[in-house]
Amino acid sequence: MSGHVVINRESSLNYRARAFKVFVDGQHVDDIRNGQRVTLDVPAGAHRIQLKIDFYKSAELPVEVNEGQAVQLLCGPPKGVDGILRAFQTTDYLTLRPLEAGAAGRVSQESDRDEPRPTRSPDSTKGDAVAPGTIFISYRRSDSEYVIGRIYDQLTQHFGHDAVFKDVDSIPLGVDFREHLDQALADCRVFIEVIGSTWLNATSNTGKRRLDSPTDHVRIEIEVALKRKIPVIPLLIHGIEIPDPDALPESIRDLAFRNGMPLRPDPDFQRDIERLTASIAATVR
């Protein structure tokens, strides 16, 4: 005996290029993209549905599915004042709720996963398309992971998905990560260093400051960018100022003299991102 859970994702600018992970009873069962609809076959009975992206997640939504029944749900990022208040919380950020009568007209009419209709690629969004690897985002996961996804979404939406390199987790196992980063920066024309409250003094498991280690990936990335005279933009979050040059290792001391900009939380986030994209576009042109 089985039924269906149909999840409709509203089309929105937030996370436009990225998928939400769909969990049923704690198990990851599928992904859903912007404006898409997915249909899940589930046993009849009670279930808990949840969405996740990075550290953000929705509240678990309990649903009761009868045999042969299709339970319709609607999901998306929060909107309005309530969304702003929750913008930097890791829980209850994404919305997941029953699909109200008449709401289907507000959902992009994608087919189910089995018969998808052609959709517009994220790379075809309006903006300044640039060559692959043009923009490199350097960040420390423990310092800015909560916001790096939003930055990445906005930049890929404007410049194209392949234009932005951000994740050292994409480095293949067994390769020299110094050489890999050097190659990743070969086509880079704009380097963004995301700096938050713990960026400067983050420590390793041994208690030593990461920046003081010659093998620290953030330090290596900055060293290569400075050596190649790539424009470096310090992107300052948490109200942080650019570190004093004396607080930095000598090899990356020039970072302190690069003109940076703040990235504030909502409601100023979008305005700051637009300023950043305009500056990048002017640089790469």
Domains and CATH numbers, the chain: 2-106 (2.60.40), 123-284 (3.40.50.10140)
* CA–CA separation, 141 and 148 (whole Å): 9
pLDDT tops 80 at residue 78: no
* CA–CA separation, 269 and 145 (whole Å): 16
Helical residues (DSSP H) of 17-72, grouped into ranges = none
Rounded to an integer, the average pLDDT of 116-138 is: 61
User: Average pLDDT, whole number, for the chain?
Assistant: 82
**Among 59-68, 70-79, 123-132, 165-174, which is the least confidently predicted range?**
123-132
**Exposure letters 104-113 (e unless 16+ CB within 10 A, then b):** eeebeebeee
